């Protein structure tokens, strides 16, 4: 009997040992990219690249000028993400490249080195470094903003509510050779419950279709404040201010990208006692008052506000707070046009019609607008999912 037990124990040990050595043989040493890269927070002297890997890794971005040399012609400068003096280990990577020249194209590639350290070990064990290989594929390219550029061209969409197929139809044919940037004007998801929902809802498609080379800027909608994953919003969409409101200054235009907050009072049961948008909008309004006094803003011939919830003569609590806090500042600052969404139907309101002294354009839920700004002229085309031009309009802000 004892001998039988001994044999069984030996057999079990042999199986366990074989499994361990197989697992070691199969141990993955390279972190692969599962989303991105996509470009965020482009300014006149910096840009941020975001991507995600399937394993913990440290990451960096290498850049090269757009001078015709091969990326491997020489060692290229490397930029690392650091948090309080340390390079973070993780799967979501956010690297800012700074100290750049305005209006200049930079080539870049993203790199990562897997970190294999088991949770109970203190030493760091690295895997193999990997990333975009400029030998096999063209490096990505991004152009820094330039306040002295003669024109600004952008596309704007909103209220996709996680319908990736609609997103792809609207974004597949954007003219990537002539467009400077894209704006997502809120409610791209109905709520932010998980990373998968964000990736599948539109972000994976955005990265695939254009966002590795052309930046998109988010104006957060009321729906993007909902769901437990909403706390991670700025991790995926970093901005130049570190807040969800900021200014984009390109060519003749200054674009104030604002955050509307939620539409109902903070105490509404649908926010589960977690909303504090009243004080958030107060702080945002203070930033807005300071920003519209800056030379950077005042020097722009064309002044635009991008805000998910439009100015309105009536409406819910969110509207009332926007009217009280933002609209008077925007009117005083000489805003030429507000571009909004939220209503899901296209409309264009002349000054005065929505209770403010500037016109308000609302882009529909399944449409896009292309904007072309030159000198003091704002031209726009309203386009449906099939690519048909439905409307055009032009404003001359000098008139
Ligand atoms: Fe909305």
Which of 97, 121, 143 finishes a domain?
Answer: 143
Distance 159 CA to ligand 1 centre (A): 7
CATH number of the domain encompassing residue 390: 3.60.21.10
Same domain, 121 and 233: no
Q: Give the other-Cβ count within 10 Å of 240's Cβ.
A: 20
* C-alpha closest to that of 327 among 316, 317, 313, 315: 313
* C-alpha closest to that of 187 among 138, 211, 221: 221
pLDDT tens digits, 257-308: 999 998 899 998 988 889 899 999 999 999 999 999 999 999 999 999 999 9
Which of 86, 110, 143 finishes a domain?
Answer: 143
Q: Could you identify the residue written with the tokens 């571009």?
A: 339
pLDDT tens digits, 199-238: 999 999 999 999 999 999 999 999 999 999 999 999 999 9
Same domain, 247 and 321: yes
Residue 126, H or E segment: strand 126-131
Residue 14 lies in a domain: no
Q: Which residues are near ligand 1, the ion (C-beta closer than 5 Å)?
A: 187, 221-222, 342
Distance 156 CA to ligand 1 centre (A): 15
Q: Angle 317-325/277-291 helices, nearest 10 degrees?
A: 30
* Residue partners of 397: CB distance under 8 A and separation at least 6: 301, 302, 303, 336, 376, 377, 378
Q: Enumerate the β-bridge partners of residue 220.
A: none
Write the DSSP string, 363-374: --TT-EEEEEEE
Which of 94, 110, 143 finishes a domain?
Answer: 143
Confidence at residue 121, expressed as pLDDT on a 0 to 100 scale: 80
Are 190 and 224 in contact, with CB atoms under 8 Å apart? no
Are 114 and 31 in contact, with CB atoms under 8 Å apart? yes
Residue 82 corresponds to which tokens in the numbers above? 């650091």
| Domain count for the chain | 2
Residue 344 lies in a domain: yes
Distance 264 CA to ligand 1 centre (A): 11
Domain housing 352 = 151-396
* C-alpha closest to that of 319 among 233, 261, 268: 261
pLDDT tens digits, 296-351: 999 999 999 999 999 887 778 999 999 999 999 999 999 999 999 999 999 999 99
Confidence at residue 12, expressed as pLDDT on a 0 to 100 scale: 55
């Amino acid at each position: 009997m004892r001998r039988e037990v001994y044999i069984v124990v030996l057999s079990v040990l042999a199986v366990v040992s074989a499994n361990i050595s197989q697992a070691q043989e199969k141990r993955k040493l390279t972190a692969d990219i599962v989303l991105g890269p996509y470009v965020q927070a482009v300014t006149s002297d910096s840009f941020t690249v975001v991507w995600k890997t399937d394993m913990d890794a440290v990451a960096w971005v290498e850049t090269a000028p757009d001078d015709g040399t091969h990326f491997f012609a020489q060692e290229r400068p490397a930029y690392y993400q650091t948090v309080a003096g340390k390079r973070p280990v993780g799967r979501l990577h956010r690297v800012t490249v700074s100290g750049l020249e305005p209006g200049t194209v930079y080539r870049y590639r993203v790199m990562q080195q897997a970190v294999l350290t088991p949770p109970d070990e203190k030493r760091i064990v690295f895997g193999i470094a990997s990333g975009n290989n400029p030998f096999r594929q063209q490096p990505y390219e991004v152009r820094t903003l330039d306040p002295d550029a003669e024109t600004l061209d952008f596309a704007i969409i909103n209220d996709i509510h996680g319908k990736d197929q609609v997103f792809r139809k609207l974004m597949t044919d954007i003219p990537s050779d002539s467009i400077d940037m894209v704006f997502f004007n809120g409610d791209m998801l109905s709520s932010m419950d998980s990373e998968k929902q964000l990736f599948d809802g539109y972000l994976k498609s955005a990265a695939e279709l254009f966002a590795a080379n052309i930046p998109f800027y988010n104006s957060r909608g009321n729906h993007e404040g909902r769901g437990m994953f909403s706390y991670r919003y700025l991790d995926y969409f970093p901005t130049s201010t570190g807040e969800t409101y900021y200014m984009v200054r390109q060519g003749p235009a200054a674009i104030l990208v604002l955050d509307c907050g939620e539409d109902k009072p903070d105490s509404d049961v649908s926010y589960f006692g977690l909303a504090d948008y009243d004080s958030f909008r107060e702080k945002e309004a203070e930033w807005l008052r300071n920003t519209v006094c800056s030379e950077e803003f005042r020097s722009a011939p064309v002044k635009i506000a991008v805000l998910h919830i439009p100015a309105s003569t009536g409406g819910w609590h969110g509207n009332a707070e926007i009217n009280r806090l933002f609209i008077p500042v925007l009117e005083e600052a000489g805003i030429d046009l507000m571009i909004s969404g939220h209503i899901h139907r296209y409309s264009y309101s002349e000054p005065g019609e929505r209770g403010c002294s500037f016109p308000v354009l609302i882009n529909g839920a399944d449409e896009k607008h292309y904007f072309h700004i030159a000198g003091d002229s704002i031209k726009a085309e309203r386009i449906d999912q099939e690519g048909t031009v439905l409307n055009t309009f032009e404003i001359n802000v000098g008139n």
